[in-house]
Chains A and B, each alone.
Chain A
Amino acid sequence: MPAGHLERGEELELEQLEVELLLEGIFRRYGFDFREYAPASLKRRLRRRMDGEHVETVSALQDLILHDPAVMERLLLDLSVNVTAMFRDPTFYLAFRQKVVPLLRTYPFSRLWVAGCSTGEEVYSLAILLAEEDLSDRVRVYATDINQAVIDVARLGVFPIEKMQEYTQNYIRAGGSHSFSEYYVARYDGARFARSLVDGVVFAQHNLASDAAFNEFNVVTCRNVMIYFAQPLQEHVHRLFYESLAMFGVLALGQKETIRFSPHESSFEELDAEERMYRKVR
């Protein structure tokens, strides 16, 4: 077969093979398991990294990644940074105030897990909400992500100043009871959110694909994280959440995610169907 004259179909098959080899290599070299990620967006991100590293093939990217941990770190950023927003889906936060907060008030102390916190927009949104409901001292928030670099960003609490107008509108629609600007100070490097908001937050690296349950939670939010996983991995993570939730604990998913794919679907009842909030009842 003459080199360089592959049929388009063969090219795609070959690329698929290269992707599988790369993911296997990453798993064995670095321990990160992307083998069960949803393929379409995974490939987009791999191509972006190929462009960034100026290589033409997945195999060439593999060569760089296996030999240079700095390239792996850059790929990890591509794979784990998700562009989210503070108070994304304001109606979710409104429902959280109306339906989850009253449950949290019944406990003297409770734990909330933000699984896949990325750069922290959701953590700060929930921290603001809990502060306004006077629950900061009674709810311990755990924020985890696969990538230490994004956790460091989250801990810093500095978000782009140009986003503040959008976030302020979201905050108001989410039922915010203060003035949003009370929570941050505009600095040269962006809008720096009050340290006190996340003083009690435990930030930690945790890999949903490979790490075990690490505590018992009254609320787990995992919004728009599992959309990047193929179904077998989604099932695995659903099992992890089921094991991590206390009885009557709440699982909150993203707007377009469904609990239908959880092997424990029948153990949950709807707390708010529209906002994808479910309560573990057995």
Chain B
Amino acid sequence: MSYDLIAIGASWGGLLAVGTLLEGISTELEQPIVIAQHRSAESTRGALESLLQRHTKRPVCEPHDKDSIEASHVYVAPPDYHLLVEGGRFALSIEGRVQFARPSIDVLFESVAEAYRDRAIAIVLTGANEDGAAGLAAIKRNGGVGIVQDPRTAAKKAMPEAAIAASQADAVLPLEEIGQFLYGLCCL
């Protein structure tokens, strides 16, 4: 079994968590990594990209509408847009907030579930809301792999707990072990 895309959802406490997670992902993994991190609509342009770039050698960028999805890249959803994937490309939307969030993790995950089905991996990290739970359930329903940060190790545990409650996750792990788990899925 091989996988074509890794999607990550994070909210409160996510910046640190995503950074740690990226550090633990082997350079051998070539799957594109797509991140929906909740943040304010007014957040400074490019700030999240450069913060995350410190944690990985892969190029980190905010995709433009209809950009093609490239191997070994890290993509972060732009502030105040929903990020979706379709047919190897990104699509953006400014439809209403979902679970008070834009970007919404559910919107990203549901589009990944549909486009990548059993070739998708989705990871829910720390957060103080329930975004990502419905999305992770969609990933699982379509045959993909669902990973959740162990709530006991999360800065805010509501979001990983909601994800665990909504679907049968394939793994519930502390951040430091997720990279190894991904390596096992993708490289062994």
Interface residues of A (CB under 8 A from B): 8-9, 12, 38-41, 43-45, 82-84, 88, 224, 226-228, 231, 234, 254-258, 261
Contact = CB atoms under 8 A, between A and B. Distances in A.
Interface in B70-94: 78, 80-82, 84-87, 91-94
A8 B110 contact: no
Interface of B: 62-66, 78, 80-82, 84-87, 91-97, 107, 110-111, 114-115, 117, 141-143
A256 B81 contact: yes
Contacts of A257: 64-65
Contacts, number: 67
A258 B64 contact: yes
21 contacts: A8-B117, A8-B143, A12-B114, A38-B91, A39-B86, A40-B84, A40-B85, A40-B114, A41-B91, A41-B95, A43-B114, A45-B95, A83-B96, A226-B65, A227-B65, A227-B93, A227-B94, A234-B66, A254-B65, A256-B65, A257-B64
B95 A38 contact: no
A261 B87 CA distance: 16
Contacts of A43: 114
A43 B93 CA distance: 12
A257 B110 CA distance: 23
A96 to B, nearest CB: 17
Given A8-B142, A8-B143, A40 B115 contact: yes
A44 B95 contact: yes
A196 to B, nearest CB: 29
A40 B110 CA distance: 9
Contacts of B114: 12, 40, 43
A169 B119 CA distance: 44
B4 to A, nearest CB: 15
A38 B86 contact: yes
A258 B78 CA distance: 14
Nearest to A166: B41
Contact of B65 (A83, A88, A258): A258
